[in-house]
Amino acid sequence: MEQDMPAVRISVRNLVEFILREGDIDNRNGGGPDKEAMQLGAKIHRKIQRRMGSEYKAEVPLKVEVPCDGFLLRVEGRADGIINSGGAVTVDEIKGVLCELEQVKAPAGVHLAQAKCYAYIYGVQNEYENVSVQMTYCQMETEEIRQFVETFSIAELESWFLDVVKQYEKWAKFQVEWRGQRNASIKKVEFPFDYREGQRELTASVYRTILRKKKLFIQAPTGVGKTMATVFPAVKAVGEELGEKIFYLTAKTITRTVAEQAFQKLKEQALRFKVLTLTAKEKICFCEETNCNPEHCPYAKGHYDRVNDAVYELLTSSDDMSRESVEDMAKKYNICPFEMSLDLSVWMDGVICDYNYVFDPNAHLKRFFSEGISGEYLFLIDEAHNLVERGRQMYSADIYKEEFLEIKRLVKNEDARLAKRADECNKLLLTMKRECESYQVVESVGHLYLKFMNVMAEVERFLENCENEEMRDKVLDFYFRIRDFLGIYDRLDENYVIYTELEEDGRFKLKLFCVNPAANLQQFLDMGNSAVFFSATLLPIQYYKKLLSTDTDNYAIYADSSFDSKNRLLMNGTDVSTRYTRRGEGMYQRYASYIWNTIKAKKGNYMAFFPSYRFMEAVYEQFEAFLQKEPEVAECILQSHFMNEEAREIFLETFEEERDESLVGFCVMGGIFSEGIDLAQEKLIGAFIVGTGLPQVCCEREILKNYFDDKGMQGFDYAYLYPGMNKVLQAAGRVIRTEEDRGVILLLDDRFREPRCREIFPREWSDCGLTRLSEVEAKVKEFWKYF
């Protein structure tokens, strides 16, 4: 019976875009590769719908089930409007555009195809013989509309629609058959290790959270086995149809590797599970320069004519979705490997990727996270402490007065209309600049919004006709900047502060600053079933619960450390301070002495983490005086301001080498070496944490402080203390990575004695002792005596 048949869901939009696309990848069309993203159409949709009259029914949900070979294909979507008038029916599809309406000669093929799908579904369900399709294009600046109307018989719509479905049927059939194989294999998979202390409870908590469609915050120290404790129950949940796809989200490349290894470990038990890691376009691109159009890239030419065949072959011939497999197939079909990997993601059981592929309004996977789309996704969010600042970045936008001035000068001899519009914005910003001494909070920039829209419309027109490639590239960069600004403007609410700032170099900035990203993140979290946030440093957990989700009934658990605390010496040096009032040569020398006395007590590899490069260099100068007297004691390496990936690897490889003396790596707290690196056992036996990690006072930190103070939420802690202490916990976490590790952690600042700092200490730091410079060498020797 049909109701017992498995069903495959697909949206109308995804169906037509997938089957009917053709031709080249071309980032020159309409100013960029994704015209839909540039149309900023949601508000204009609602405005047009409201003025269409009583016969117009807006946002009509439609769904049809088509019987296929062994399954039902469920095609669903939402028509912008249905007009019933005098016994006739018209399906309306609205698109907002920035170009002038006379340039729209006919409806775009994919737009018309969407409308025809809705017309067929509505017509069949309501037994009409004919249905009209109306394409409504609205110019975003003037709000003028242009409409194209065409009438179809249900018979011809049915023939066309079923042909599209027929082309999709093999893909849906693969999906159904694969799901059966995958779920059967999942039933046999068991947890691949002996459970560590607390790990079984952690795994059960993740499963329960998914079962109840909730969110879970996990504070779990290094060594608990967080990755497998989240991946395993999520895979089990997929096998029980509690979720259709796992998104494993990370902020760092190294944690992606750990996630890949976890899935691979489960596959050793004959698990059938297709997992893809999304690699950034710049890294996977076959060309020396990433320029996505057929004139510059041979893989862009005709890409859409061949990509579906490439994806289908890889899907049906292998479970290996590694970067190498994707690249090999892309070369075979002469297509773009990045775009191919995005298409592959639709068919995956697990996708490992950066946060921005889910949460970033300009970079998210529109196949899964566009407006109106939702799915049974399971989000596993690793190193979740990073998501607060990343969220603020993703949902904030800024623009500079000087950008408008530069565009005006660039195009004044080419396009007087665009130059005039840019000059209008420049003058408005100049007025604001004269009122700003350093930074200033602004109540509203609504008057600028309309002017920016005007500029954007002119830029769109300019890009359609510009043949000067160098000029076009500069204007296109500006286009993206202003588009992003306007996109964030549409999000403004009580979670934002608007401010202007006169920077040290004289440039004048206007910023839409997202101080609390929770509501924006929640919009995307709501598109899935469940989310698990986990980190070794998710303290205080209430801080993260308030800034990463708006739900009030989220779960939280604290996993105890599985490591023996006797293997770690944790001490707070109380006779040093990083306070500005106490900085000076004498204090820097005292810090250098702490490091020197500790490494004299035990030869080995150490890292010292400092609040800034300036502080690090000042202490290093004092440390050099010790080295000049006894050069055989230690070797030093320093983190530099701008280290590329190769320099970073060389720095870390130094800790792998055998040596007769100690090694001290001088680093900056919160930098590239204070998290996401794994130097186990003898590779790192000690860390010096210099200062409480408090961010430097600046206008944004003060804005954060004032914002949360006004909400009655301890502004200083939210703006300074919690982010700072997270850096401390991350840096300290570099030392003990396995059960065999032994090491020393010195917290070097008298402020660590304060209750507000101690309250954020993890439970396993309850044994933190106190020390002074005169005592530290003896205490370190005493600790190492037992190993």
As a whole number, mean pLDDT of residues 402-419 equals: 95
- Strand (E) or helix (H) holding 134: strand 130-139
User: In the prediction, which pLDDT does 30 show?
Assistant: 46
Per-residue pLDDT tens digits for 748-758: 999 999 999 99
pLDDT(58) > 60:
yes
Q: Give the pLDDT of residue 516.
A: 98
Domain with CATH 3.40.50.300 in the chain: 183-394+528-558, 565-784
pLDDT, average across residues 679-706: 94
> What's residue 249's pLDDT?
97
All CATH 1.10.275.40 domain ranges in the chain, comma separated = 397-514
Percent of the chain at pLDDT above 70? 96
Q: Does the pLDDT of residue 122 top 60, yes or no?
A: yes
Strands 215-219 and 555-558: parallel
| Poorest-pLDDT segment among 77-91, 496-510, 518-532 | 77-91
2-172 CATH pick, 2.60.120.10, 3.20.20.220, 3.40.430.10, 3.90.320.10: 3.90.320.10
Report whether pLDDT(43) > 70: no
Q: Torsion angle of alpha carbons 627, 630, 636, 641, nearest 10°?
A: 10
Q: What is the mean pLDDT of residues 29-38?
A: 40
Spatial contact of 44 and 138, defined as CB atoms under 8 Å apart: yes
Q: Which residue has the tokens 């549409």?
A: 490
Residue 463 makes CB contacts below 8 A (sequence gap 6+) with 28, 30, 31, 472, 475, 476, 479
37 pLDDT above the threshold of 70? no
> Token digits for 637?
């390496």
CA distance 246 to 722: 30
Residue 749, CA distances (Å) to 209, 539, 569, 760, 770 in order:
40, 20, 17, 15, 11
Strands (E), 450-495: none
CA neighbours closer than 13 Å in the CB half-sphere of residue 478 = 29
In CATH, what class is 565-784? alpha beta
Q: Are strands 496-502 and 88-97 parallel, antiparallel or unpaired?
A: unpaired
The pLDDT value recorded for residue 723 is 96
Amino acid 545: pLDDT: 96
pLDDT digits (tens, 9 = 90+) for 508-528: 999 999 999 999 999 999 999
Look at residue 1 in the predicted model and tell me its pLDDT.
Answer: 45
3-state secondary structure of 25: coil
Is the pLDDT score of 622 beyond 50? yes
Is 531's pLDDT higher than 90? yes
* Structural class in CATH, domain 397-514: mainly alpha
- Averaged pLDDT score across all residues of the chain: 92
Average pLDDT score over residue span 603-617: 96
Please give the Cα distance from 365 to 3 (Å, whole number): 32
pLDDT in tens, 649-670: 999 999 999 999 999 999 999 9
* CA distances from residue 340 to 25, 49, 307, 343, 548 in whole angstroms, order as listed: 12, 37, 6, 5, 31
Q: What is the pLDDT of residue 564?
A: 86
Closest CA relative to residue 223, chosen from 537, 562, 533: 562
Choose the weakest-confidence range: 234-238, 291-295, 442-446, 496-500.
291-295
Residues written for the chain: 787
In this prediction, residue 2 carries a pLDDT of 54
pLDDT in tens, 245-288: 999 999 877 789 999 999 999 999 999 999 999 999 999 999 98
What would the pLDDT profile of 729-770 be if each residue is shown by its tens digit? Answer: 999 999 988 888 999 999 999 999 999 999 999 999 999 999
Mean pLDDT, range 520-542, rounded to an integer: 95
The CATH label, of 3.40.50.300, 3.30.70.270, 3.40.50.970, 3.30.2350.10, for the domain at 183-394+528-558 is: 3.40.50.300
CA–CA distance, 711 with 485 (Å, rounded to integer): 26
Structure tokens at 489: 């403007």
Q: What is the mean pLDDT of residues 455-481?
A: 89
Choose between 599 and 142: higher pLDDT.
599
Residue 101, number of CB atoms within 10 A of its CB: 13
Q: Lowest mean pLDDT: which of 13-17, 42-46, 165-169?
A: 42-46
Confidence of residue 38 (pLDDT cuts 50, 70, 90): very low
